[in-house]
Structures are given as structure tokens and as C-alpha cells.
């Protein structure tokens, strides 16, 4: 069974950390071959995977994508960070050293958000500058589903910062395209 890529699609997802949820997504890209499907001689390029982006569910600086294989036998959901620049929004408040606000600006400059955060860990090694105690880790104080919790890593020494969404960004969900 094959399915054609549509500009908008509805999916039903279920799995670890969520019940059954209906999502609407917009087609953003395609790639081939599908890394999970075997190729054959009739179609040496393999099956096409359509990437659908779910909008409106998460803050813009987090991206939820569904990679839908045209074979309709499997698909995956991925949580990714959106390309952005992170900087402290205001100076630290000496009265509340565990609280901090960060400005997250899209690389394109089209979007900006100020996110309030709470310090969760400090004195970590910065991978960018090598400072042994430069990196601080903050929990973003935003309302998102538990599976989309993210942290902001910030080095006070070199100014390197990024949104961390976990060591693996694949969500182990069952994904089904809804019937029209």
C-alpha cells in the first residue's frame, strides 16, 4: 500500500508518555530512500519519506516532526530544537541566583522569545570552550507536555548556549495517518 504526500495531514500518535493524540501537520520536505525499507530493482531509489511538521503544539523553538514512509508500514516522530541563538535576556538578579531569563532568537531573526528558567545544575564542562566549570543547565519554565521537556545549556565563560532535547530525539510512538 502506498500513500501520496499531502500538503496537510492528520496523524494519530500513541506511546510512552502519552495517550492517543490527534495531530495536524504540514508537509515540509521529503527524502529517499527510506532507511528502513529494503530497495528493489524495480525502484532503485527506494520509497520516499515525507517530513511533516506539527505546528501550534509546542513553543516555536521546539520542532515536532513526523517522518512518514510512503509504504505506510512504519513512521517515526522526532523532537528537535529549532536553529536559534541563545543569550541572557536580562542581567542576573542577585536576590534570585537560581532564576534567569534567556532570549531565544531564530537564526533567521524572524522570531524571538524570552524564556524564564530555573537553574538545575552547574559546574559542568563546556564542550565549546573546554572550561571545566563553565556550563550551567536551566529548566525552561514553560508549559509543554512532559515528553517535550527541554533544558537550556549556557556557558558564562564563552557565551555558548543551546536548547537540549535529550540524548536521542526520536520519540518511540506509534504513528498512524488518519483516514480522511
Q: What is the tally of structural domains in the chain?
A: 2
Verify that 145 and 160 share a domain, yes or no. yes
Q: What is the pLDDT of residues 93-119, one digit of tens each?
A: 778 878 999 999 999 888 999 999 999
In a domain, 2, yes or no: no
Verify that 90 and 155 share a domain, yes or no. yes
Residues in the chain: 180
CA dihedral 92, 98, 101, 107 (to 10 degrees): 110
Q: Write down the pLDDT at residue 169.
A: 74
Q: What is the pLDDT of residues 132-164, one digit of tens each?
A: 988 999 999 998 888 888 899 999 889 999 999
Verify that 156 and 101 share a domain, yes or no. yes
In a domain, 23, yes or no: yes
Verify that 28 and 48 share a domain, yes or no. yes
Verify that 105 and 122 share a domain, yes or no. yes
Quote the domain boundaries for residue 63. Answer: 8-81+168-177
Verify that 92 and 156 share a domain, yes or no. yes
Q: What is the pLDDT of residues 33-84, one digit of tens each?
A: 888 887 766 676 778 889 999 988 899 999 999 999 888 778 888 999 999 9
Higher pLDDT, 15 or 120: 120
C-alpha cell at 56: 501550534
Strands 173-177 and 112-124 turn out to be unpaired
Verify that 25 and 88 share a domain, yes or no. no
The Cα-based distances of 26 to 16, 66, 99, 162 in angstroms read 24, 10, 36, 26
Amino acid at each position: 500500500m502506498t500513500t501520496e504526500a499531502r500538503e496537510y495531514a492528520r496523524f494519530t500518535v500513541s506511546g510512552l508518555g502519552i495517550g492517543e493524540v490527534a495531530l495536524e501537520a504540514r508537509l515540509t520536505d521529503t527524502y529517499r530512500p527510506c532507511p528502513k525499507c529494503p530497495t528493489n530493482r524495480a525502484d532503485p531509489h527506494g520509497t520516499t519519506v515525507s517530513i511533516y511538521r506539527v505546528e501550534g503544539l509546542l513553543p516555536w523553538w521546539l520542532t515536532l516532526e513526523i517522518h512518514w514512509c510512503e509504504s505506510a508500514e512504519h513512521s517515526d516522530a522526532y523532537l528537535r530544537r529549532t536553529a536559534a541563538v541563545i543569550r541572557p535576556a536580562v542581567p542576573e538578579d542577585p536576590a534570585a541566583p537560581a532564576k534567569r531569563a534567556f532570549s531565544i532568537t531564530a537564526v533567521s531573526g524572524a522570531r524571538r522569545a524570552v524564556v524564564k528558567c530555573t537553574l538545575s545544575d552547574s559546574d559542568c564542562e563546556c564542550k565549546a570552550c573546554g572550561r571545566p566549570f563553565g556550563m550551567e543547565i536551566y529548566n525552561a519554565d514553560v508549559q509543554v507536555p512532559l515528553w517535550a521537556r527541554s533544558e537550556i545549556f549556557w556557558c558564562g565563560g564563552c557565551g555558548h548556549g543551546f536548547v537540549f532535547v535529550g540524548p536521542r530525539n526520536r520519540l518511540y510512538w506509534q504513528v498512524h495517518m488518519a483516514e480522511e
